[in-house]
Structure 1
């Protein structure tokens, strides 16, 4: 759409901008909750971007070649909801009136999958920017793989809006650094530079030169001195689009709560309603009817709704291009459709190995690497890397190129030592479509990426986290690198699937389960140390049950030994020691609490008979949570403190993770019953 050229066009544009402001004020005032300041300051940007620059189809929010819009400062959600309603998405004026209310389409912060047109869940500051980096990476990768000189099937931009709070967060620095290194020219970030945060003026804690910082990250930096200058905003956005070799940061100088006579440029407008009186004053300043609530003039709505026809035309033009592409490149077109829909090709698991006991012990991290590489040969969307730990995590795809600037077809991502950004970028890769991402680090560093994992769980994204070095058996690196509480904390997070396989073959099964999972993140907790390979007849395919009888005794067991991961082997050895003393023990392998809980009560009672109250769990982590399976009469051989620096076997022995100690604990329990 062309810029306004007449006074009448200018008046209409200003009315369109002010409608966003009044809708934000009214919705937040009605809810008596929310953040009016940022939507009011950013209204001109939203208007220009959504009506003049951005390629989108309100009637098909999932059109694959749409531009992506990420509101990293999710507290400004009324900006996004207003734009969705005004431009014709499936969001109504009544939805705006129900802002922040139970069951509404307009929750306090944008939620992916809940509101049509929302690309990602945002709110925890900085993560939206990292999501946007992931989306931009996905666009470049898919364009490199599927575009042909005459057919640009993947050809869009990713826009992210962030504020001072976003840029204070470390994850934004991590992500921006990587984006600049990769030269993501189709990533455009608009920085809402309003100098205000919750506690006051940003100079109380944030005095850096943001422009120079991003220039050092190898970004193009553009300045717009007046956030109300529609022409300057449009010019900057177009200049950003024209830069193909670097991501762009537009430093947009805005006024928080613009138009509010008493609260503009004040922290008071950041996170609380303006108040009825101030809303009326602001409407008067903006030239709007102060007595009307949720007022949308018909000419304003008609003007915004032109986005519907423009969107249809843009998608139709793309569809024509795609149809021609499909005729000339049918195989590439089929692969692209499979990628964008997440379709698993036939035979995707046919190259997976079966390990044999006679071939010797194998670390589950090593088995994971072999499984990942076998899967990658059959699943072209499988793409990822590690936070500078690929040799340790075994996450490198052998024989495949690295994703780098100028080589975007690569499927190996070098995330660098950036765990938090890696987690959020993985989410962005998946949200874009066409990528099934994985990322690796040490289990102890799950804490560095936990906020991104939590938001991925909220969105139910099936991203795969490869977390190796899963216990105090890490050894010499000591307690800083030995996870003890991480497994329990990950199990405590809703909608996360934690898999801790006991040997190489069960690790293969864990990867099968991870690939098949389509509604939540998956964590693979894997050993550094080598573990014996069990007979496939004992474990084969049963990981999907979450827990099962691995080794039984004759008749009713005297005691249940329940274990996960590496500690399963100690439980098996303890079972033999107990048998020598005529004590019948059943060994239950429980690689996934989440999967076990999905079983019927009958199955769970078959595995863990209620009448057997003598129960001993064995896991090299904190005991928290095991009470649900061992009961009040049971015990846990676990960690009640941090680890120590010594060879892994020595550490395990000194903390009681031996067959002898497990057997002794079992005997003592039975004596005291």
Structure 2
């Protein structure tokens, strides 16, 4: 009964192969590009296009640095295609010079509409084709609406890139309905998903590099507010982010305390370290943008960044503290937010929620005195 179907399929496959070979002969450059994409390779020299930022450039939100990076890469990596769930201006996901995708206008920029789940599902389809590296943007708090498609992307090891902006309570007056708390823990619990929360603009460019080289889905977690460009990242971010964690400030000899932070909390953690060092404490500061990338490193490298003998460790992150004991150990501590946020200006939130340099230094002193 199935013989005719098999025979039809065999002839159809042969016809298709013949058409492909004639295409290769007539359009050799396009055929080479097709082969490159299907081989999941990236074009030569793309890393050279990654932007570099300097402290003198002034503060820049990581969502803005993401947009700069995306547009620096778009011409070199033509398979980049995506958009936002109706938050293009906020997510900084626009490909400059590209029109919107529509019938008769096959561009690479999509207006997905207020449909996070549909956006993530469309990204899965694009990734399954093998011809595109899809990305999609929304607020981190709206992760809840697209989770089923993200989970399937992780299950199928699809190369989808999620651009989650407005990553913490520090987004301000939108209040607790839009302020993520549990969402980082939620993302980190998904097997096969690499989560990256960069500390500044250089770490953001490096986060895009990591996302493009990750053989599966990757979530970029980015700020609304502007952050200073850190001294240590101009030369260290590209390798450091690829390894998930690296030292951004160190002491002479073995540290008394290791401060570990992600994203917007790295800068105030560095301030707190300076205060503690002035008091005579030996302090190391580690930026840990990606737990998953760090966990994938050799034990030797992990021990180099977080020496097992240094058990006084304080992790700082403006999010739920769940899971941090993996890196702080049983004798460490975590300064985070196991509560919902509030509607208030950024400065008031920093002061009242206790995620600032003074609060970090105080918690560190408690740990050192213990």
Q: TM-score interval w.r.t. the shorter chain?
A: over 0.9
| Among 58, 81, 84, the residue aligned to 1:360 | 58
1:664: which partner in 2?
A: 362
1:64-112: per-residue Cα shift (whole Å, max 9, x none)? xxxxxxxxxxxxxxxxxxxxxxxxxxxxxxxxxxxxxxxxxxxxxxxxx
User: Structure 1 residues 417, 603: closer, same or farther in 2, change over 3 A?
Assistant: same
For 2:284 and 2:38, the matched residues in 1 are separated by 46
1:449: which partner in 2?
A: 146
2:167: which partner in 1?
A: 470
| Among 636, 646, 654, the residue aligned to 2:334 | 636
1:515: which partner in 2?
A: 212
Superposed, 1:347-496 pairs within 5 Å as 347-407=45-105, 409-496=106-193
Q: Does the residue aligned with 2:49 lie in a helix, a strand or coil?
A: coil
Unaligned ranges ≥5, structure 2: none
Q: Does the residue aligned with 1:481 lie in a helix, a strand or coil?
A: coil
Superposed, 1:576-591 pairs within 5 Å as 576-591=274-289
Superposed, 1:225-374 pairs within 5 Å as 303-374=1-72
Q: Bigger radius of gyration, 1 or 2?
A: 1
- Whether 1:567 aligns to 2:265 is yes
For 1:376 and 1:482, the matched residues in 2 are separated by 30
The count of residues paired between Structure 1 and Structure 2 equals 368
Tell me by how many angstroms 1:493 deviates.
1.1
User: Structure 1 residues 481, 634: closer, same or farther in 2, change over 3 A?
Assistant: same
| Among 198, 201, 208, the residue aligned to 1:501 | 198
Tell me by how many angstroms 1:454 deviates.
0.8
Q: Does the residue aligned with 1:654 lie in a helix, a strand or coil?
A: helix
1:29-53: per-residue Cα shift (whole Å, max 9, x none)? xxxxxxxxxxxxxxxxxxxxxxxxx
1:538-561: per-residue Cα shift (whole Å, max 9, x none)? 434211111111110112111110
For 1:612 and 1:345, the matched residues in 2 are separated by 43
Superposed, 1:138-177 pairs within 5 Å as none
Q: Does the residue aligned with 1:428 lie in a helix, a strand or coil?
A: helix
RMSD: 1.3
For 2:39 and 2:278, the matched residues in 1 are separated by 56
Contact 1:341-1:434 at 8 Å conserved across structures: no
Contact 2:230-2:267 at 8 Å conserved across structures: no
1:476-496: per-residue Cα shift (whole Å, max 9, x none)? 111111101100111011111
User: Structure 1 residues 489, 314: closer, same or farther in 2, change over 3 A?
Assistant: same
Tell me by how many angstroms 1:565 deviates.
0.6
Contact 1:562-1:589 at 8 Å conserved across structures: yes
Contact 2:206-2:237 at 8 Å conserved across structures: no
For 2:39 and 2:330, the matched residues in 1 are separated by 48
Tell me by how many angstroms 1:378 deviates.
0.7
Q: Does the residue aligned with 2:195 lie in a helix, a strand or coil?
A: strand
1:534: which partner in 2?
A: 230
User: Structure 1 residues 470, 315: closer, same or farther in 2, change over 3 A?
Assistant: same
For 1:318 and 1:375, the matched residues in 2 are separated by 33
- Whether 1:545 aligns to 2:243 is yes
1:9-65: per-residue Cα shift (whole Å, max 9, x none)? xxxxxxxxxxxxxxxxxxxxxxxxxxxxxxxxxxxxxxxxxxxxxxxxxxxxxxxxx
Contact 2:83-2:137 at 8 Å conserved across structures: yes
2:353: which partner in 1?
A: 655
Unaligned ranges ≥5, structure 1: 1-302
Contact 1:551-1:587 at 8 Å conserved across structures: yes
- Whether 1:621 aligns to 2:316 is no
Tell me by how many angstroms 1:639 deviates.
0.3
For 2:276 and 2:207, the matched residues in 1 are separated by 30
Q: Which has the higher contact order (CA 8 A, sep 6+)?
A: 2
User: Structure 1 residues 603, 328: closer, same or farther in 2, change over 3 A?
Assistant: closer
Q: Does the residue aligned with 1:349 lie in a helix, a strand or coil?
A: helix
Normalised by the size of structure 1, how large is the TM-score?
Answer: 0.54
Normalised by the size of structure 2, how large is the TM-score?
Answer: 0.96
- Deviating above 4 A after TM superposition, structure 1's stretches of 4 or more consecutive aligned residues are none
Superposed, 1:208-227 pairs within 5 Å as none
Contact 2:84-2:110 at 8 Å conserved across structures: yes
Contact 1:539-1:550 at 8 Å conserved across structures: no
User: Structure 1 residues 540, 556: closer, same or farther in 2, change over 3 A?
Assistant: same
2:291: which partner in 1?
A: 593
